[in-house]
Chains A and B, each alone.
Chain A
Amino acid sequence: NAGVTQTPKFRILKIGQSMTLQCAQDMNHNYMYWYRQDPGMGLKLIYYSVGAGITDKGEVPNGYNVSRSTTEDFPLRLELAAPSQTSVYFCASRTGLVEKLFFGSGTQLSVL
């Protein structure tokens, strides 16, 4: 059972480049989340989804886009990378509102 799988683990982007962070879960979870973690700032919610075809903004959605075409996958798109998007990105999923989150191992992104 793989859980939540994030790819890539590390990436360096130039300013203005685009990329997609991949997230897949094999637990049939309805809820999926993207967080970013900056030093001393904890985790901030970027986007979340409560099921296939349904997404919504979190606290810090600017500069990002998401889609949820299947239950398993929840990719995060950066269209025009900026240095402010340098961060560690975590994908997470859970079955219901009060259940625990399962986290991926993270993607460390640097925008230079």
Chain B
Amino acid sequence: ETGVTQTPRHLVMGMTNKKSLKCEQHLGHNAMYWYKQSAKKPLELMFVYNFKEQTENNSVPSRFSPECPNSSHLFLHLHTLQPEDSALYLCASSQDLTGTTDTQYFGPGTRLTVL
């Protein structure tokens, strides 16, 4: 148990659906991240938030829309996804973005399948 929880753990959706992934951290951190993990590919950083402000959007398509209402919660809103978006979506948190030694703690991920 890393202190970062994600719901749902599994999600199957059609290309016309709208769904949201939720991440919550209980570590008192101020930075939160979304990563995409596809089979046989390195983890890809998608978004970074620091103190609720988005600091990084790694050229992610607009069908992925993040939301960070406070430092403990992070959402990823999904709409009109494509089958190639099927992957494990990982959330992570760290103390903030000011230190070399800032460690990222990962949640268990949401396994997303787009039909």
Say whether A associates with B.
no
Interface residues of A (CB under 8 A from B): none
